[in-house]
Amino acid sequence: AYAEFVSRNDYAPGIELVSADDNVVMTRTFSKIYGLAALRLGWAYCPTEVAMVFHRGRGPFNVNAAAQAAGLAALHDVKHTDEARAHNDRWLPWLQDECDRLGLKYIPSVGNFLTIEFDEDGPRSANAAQEFLRTKGILPRAIAGYGLAAHLRFTIGLEEENRAVIEALEAFLSDTNGD
């Protein structure tokens, strides 16, 4: 889902894996960098035999004409994806640097989000942080369901949103320090 955000040269998108075997499928979505999540549109690259199995199992009208047109337009709008990637390339490292400055640990990312670690419980827990941030109008994603109960996931936003997140995290940490 986040492959289009990667601009590092040490990343392989997976096409070579599909070419190397007859039972490998590479899927992509239009939900993230293209901003078309509501259309539930994606694509798969796979051997013809696998595609035929997919084809037999799908409904007769699984992708409507409007979604198809939007997907094609998104693919041709290279300027948008380049700008979205450049925005991410600027603000993801900035958020990581700010977390370093605040002493917050995080999971390194090349996508359009940063997963920040909090305490397991107590005043600096992910739950406490989420509740505090909610009062500031910031809604990070809780990811306890993925085995990361002490973490919250923050999507890279607009400049003012990213700055607001750091300002709110700073206030949260200050409040829980007794400062």
Query: Which residues span the domain enclosing 30?
Result: 3-76
Whether residue 153 contacts residue 141, with contact meaning beta carbons closer than 8 Å, is answered with yes
- Give the distance from CA 166 to its chain's centroid: 18
CATH of the domain at 165: 3.90.1150.10
C-alpha distances out from residue 8 to 52, 130, 150, Å: 34, 31, 28
Q: Give how many domains the chain has, as a whole number.
A: 2
> Which pLDDT score is estimated for 6?
82
Is residue 125 domain-shared with residue 172, that is, in the same domain?
yes
Is residue 68 domain-shared with residue 88, that is, in the same domain?
no
153 pLDDT tier (thresholds 50, 70, 90): very high
> Which pLDDT score is estimated for 1?
75
> Which pLDDT score is estimated for 130?
98
Is residue 65 domain-shared with residue 104, that is, in the same domain?
no
Is 70 exceeded by the pLDDT of residue 55?
Answer: yes
Element (H, E) at 78: helix 78-102
Q: Report pTM.
A: 0.84
Which of 76, 108, 123 is a domain's end point? 76
CATH of the domain at 64: 3.40.640.10
Is residue 97 domain-shared with residue 115, that is, in the same domain?
yes
Minimum mean pLDDT among 4-13, 29-38, 160-169: which range?
4-13
Is residue 40 domain-shared with residue 118, that is, in the same domain?
no
